[in-house]
Amino acid sequence: MAIRRTVLSSLLAGAAAISLSPAFAANAAADYPSRPIRLVVPFGAGGSTDMVARLLAEKMSQILGKSVVVDNKGGAGGSIGASEIAKAAPDGYTIGMATVSTHGSNPAIFRKLPYDAIKDFAPITNVMSVPSVFVVNSSVPAKTMKEFIALAKAHPDKYTFASPGTGSLGHANIENFMNLAGIQLLHIPYKGAGQAITDALGGQVNAMTDNLPSTLPHIKDGKLRPLAVLALKRAEVLPDVPTYAELGYPQMGDGGWFGLVAPAGTPRPIIDKLNAAAHKAMAMPDYLEKQKSISGESMGNTPEEFAKQIKVAIERYTAVAKRANIKLD
């Protein structure tokens, strides 16, 4: 029996070594994909992450010749879906969307995160940035961010801001801004962005920050007033609204992004094939047209460059969480 176990262990070890060899990985990539690919989105349908994922999946399906099927696995601020990506087989048939939440603020804020944002993933490419916008209810007597800061300094804790929940990206971003601007707003956490927007529209809270695509209709109808955008540059749909960097707060970062990751251990030839397909998709005219419609900016890059962006995001939000004392189990 002992001999049989030894032989079995040797066979398994040999199989594992073959599966990790460069030749095996190259052969696997040559036949890849031979079946549909699941693209896990760690948030619900209809949000910005979902919109980017579905746009990309449609084009990558055409390029790869196999369906890329979006699978929404929302919950716990993106942690449930991100954990599912991390624990999937590293064969290229389960990939996922990484965001500034799942791979930036969550690792900085949650003490018991069910995944390691660096060790458990193989970055493929960043895809798109979508601006977020700081808005106030139209009843707030401030037309610019400078005026709003003056109001907040004159009345600490009088003005409120809504977030999708304690520890959310929206919460972390405004905590960061309060520290940089030297103001104190009263945080009102909600269970999701929907109710937060509803109460910001109704004036129950004074301010909030959210992705531009979901906020823009309310800005256009005059119910919410934009004071700053978190992005690399001004949004074309809001040309008169400055970026945080223009206002003197470059430490706010460059906005939210959405990228592709695979489970750690996915063979590099497969990563490269997915990277090439994603970049080809991002260059297609109808993709670019739809990207523009949601105020998106292309952020395609190499796996190594995307890995650096993830590291920078974690470092930024770790500093924010420490200053604001935001820690959750």
Q: What is the pLDDT of residue 5?
A: 47
Q: What is the pLDDT of residue 177?
A: 96
Q: What is the pLDDT of residue 13?
A: 47
**Model pLDDT for residues 56-80, shown as the tens digit of each residue:** 999 999 999 999 999 999 888 899 9
Q: Is the pLDDT of residue 17 over 80?
A: no
For residue 226, the cross-strand partners are 135
The alpha carbon dihedral of 239, 245, 249, 252 has a sign of: positive
Confidence of residue 2 (pLDDT cuts 50, 70, 90): very low
Q: Is the pLDDT of residue 173 over 90?
A: yes
Alpha helices (runs of H) in 65-122, residue ranges in sequence order? 79-87, 106-109
At a CB cut-off of 8 Å and minimum separation 6, what does 219 contact? 133, 135, 225, 226, 238
> Nearest Cα to 247, choosing from 147, 99, 156?
147
Burial class (CB in 10 A: 0-12, 13-18, 19+), 234: middle
58-67, 182-191, 202-211, 289-298: least confident range: 289-298
**Model pLDDT for residues 89-107, shown as the tens digit of each residue:** 999 999 999 999 999 999 9
- pLDDT (average), residues 139-156: 97
Q: Is the pLDDT of residue 12 over 60?
A: no
The Cα–Cα gap between 73 and 96 comes to 10
Confidence of residue 24 (pLDDT cuts 50, 70, 90): low
Confidence of residue 242 (pLDDT cuts 50, 70, 90): very high
65 in helix, strand or coil? coil
> Nearest Cα to 230, choosing from 217, 216, 219, 246?
246
18-22, 176-180, 299-303: least confident range: 18-22
Q: Is the pLDDT of residue 11 over 70?
A: no
The Cα–Cα gap between 227 and 142 comes to 9
Q: What is the pLDDT of residue 121?
A: 98
Q: What is the pLDDT of residue 7?
A: 47
At a CB cut-off of 8 Å and minimum separation 6, what does 309 contact? 126, 257, 259, 301
pTM of this structure: 0.85
Q: What is the pLDDT of residue 224?
A: 97
The Cα–Cα gap between 124 and 97 comes to 10
- pLDDT (average), residues 215-227: 95
**Model pLDDT for residues 201-218, shown as the tens digit of each residue:** 999 999 999 989 889 999
Confidence of residue 41 (pLDDT cuts 50, 70, 90): very high
Q: Is the pLDDT of residue 28 over 80?
A: no
In the chain, what percentage of residues exceed pLDDT 90? Answer: 77
User: Rounded mean pLDDT of the chain?
Assistant: 91
Q: What is the pLDDT of residue 21?
A: 53
Q: What is the pLDDT of residue 271?
A: 98
Pair 191, 165: CB distance under 8 Å: yes
Confidence of residue 268 (pLDDT cuts 50, 70, 90): very high
Q: Is the pLDDT of residue 16 over 60?
A: no
Report the DSSP pairing between strands 224-230 and 132-137: antiparallel
Q: What is the pLDDT of residue 103?
A: 97
